Chains A and B, each alone.
Chain A
Amino acid sequence: MGELVRRPQKLLPWCLAVSLGASAWLLAYTHLTEIADALLAATGLTRETRLGEALHFFLYDTPKVLLLLTGIVFVMGIVQTFFAPERTRALLSGRRAGAGNVLAAILGIVTPFCSCSAVPLFIGFLSAGVPLGVTFSFLVSAPMVNEVALVLLLGMFGWQVAALYLGLGLAVAIVAGLVIGHLRMERHLEDWVQQILAGKHTNRGTDGLDWVARFEAGGAHVRDIVGRVWPYVLVGIALGAGIHGYVPEDFMASFMGRDAWWAVPAAVVLGVPMYTNAAGIIPVVEALIGKGAALGTVLAFMMSVIALSAPEMIILRKALKPALIASFAGIVAVGILLVGYVFNLVL
């Protein structure tokens, strides 16, 4: 009871803290260059030297990325309380191929997802009558088109690139799911999965949450995600800063430029065994592009790193037979290849 009585009193402090935080955030975000200039001046270096230029890149990008990350992750933590996996499943259950795949790919952006619970989620979807292909659209979209990737692309390359990534990422997820659904691969689920599909499932919704709980979920999401990824962000930005300051202009163009036809497949293959998150890889991506690497090649690499990860394949192997895993990886890889080539052609 005590918990229930105290709740309304917590809402006002939360609202105050959120508005104060938002104002401070805006103020800092609109003065990033001044902050970096001041910090650089304090070290006595100038941007004329390589070290100074690299350091300025680091001092500008680190606050920028961490601010973007904290802000968006907080908002997404709140949004996700409206889209518990159970809610998403209810929205998708009984949907047919086509519209179902589109909806699944979109819901993949806002539904909380962790590759460690990919198997229970997969089974939860199938047991509620979500078709296999629609389920795969969700499983492709959820890790690839995530808020961290979108935010960082938005912050570093502008809305056009973020929108292209969003659109093409959704397209890969939708088409991959349609193809898998069309192949009728249900018999390639492990036997225990096929047996369990006739079984029970519980429904635990989050609709009854109040706003204090939603704010708390946002705060917890920030601690969880930002707390986990900030070292990757720092390492990524430091690597990016090094490339920015020391690698000659157009150095990357020779082997990651758009004229090298083999660069896109090589980037995809290279990305599969690598396992990091969008936060760590995007600062590196930005620096590579600054040195003449083609955007499509680099984005294909990024998609491959975050959507086709070896650890997730190993987890999914517990529920999927090898033929289905191979089809899943193969279809997604082809989709990413196409995205890479399209980007290189268009831009």
Chain B
Amino acid sequence: MKMVKVLGSGCAKCRSTVALIERVAAAQGAAIALEKVEDMPTIASYGVMSTPAVVIDGSVVHAGGVPTEGAVAAWFGS
């Protein structure tokens, strides 16, 4: 089970990031717990400078924009 967090202020790109991750994880049958983080102090505590950002199991794997589908698939692959 991977703990996935999407950091973002609730903009359109953050919502599409969440939807993309849900879709790819479902397609791959990957077990994830997805959480959306909109609280600014929490977002800032991860040290990201551009949102949406993605955190998996505590480490930042992506920042600034909607990730590509290939990148998301790679996070959940293997």
Contacts and interface: CB of A to CB of B under 8 A. Distances in A.
A199 interface: yes
A142 to B, nearest CB: 12
A86 B41 contact: no
B1 interface: no
B49 to A, nearest CB: 4
Contacts of B47: 124, 127, 199-202
B27 interface: no
A117 B50 contact: yes
A121 B40 contact: no
A315 B11 CA distance: 11
B64 to A, nearest CB: 7
B40 A204 contact: no
A202 B48 contact: yes
A119 B45 contact: no
Interface in A43-89: 84-86, 89
**Which of the listed residues B40, B43, B47 has the most CB atoms from chain A within 10 Å of its own CB?**
B47
B32 interface: no
Contacts of A124: 44, 47-49
Interface in A96-139: 112, 114, 116-117, 119-121, 123-125, 127
A296 to B, nearest CB: 34
Nearest to B44: A123
B23 to A, nearest CB: 19
Nearest to A86: B49
A200 B46 CA distance: 8
Contacts of A125: 49
Given A204-B60, A319-B40, A121 B49 contact: yes
5 closest pairs, A vs B, by CB?
A124-B49, A201-B47, A116-B11, A85-B49, A202-B47
11 contacts: A84-B64, A86-B49, A89-B49, A116-B11, A117-B8, A119-B9, A119-B44, A120-B40, A124-B47, A124-B49, A202-B60
Interface of A: 3, 84-86, 89, 112, 114, 116-117, 119-121, 123-125, 127, 192-193, 196, 199-202, 204, 220, 315, 318-319
Interface of B: 8-9, 11, 13, 40-41, 43-51, 60, 63-65, 70, 74
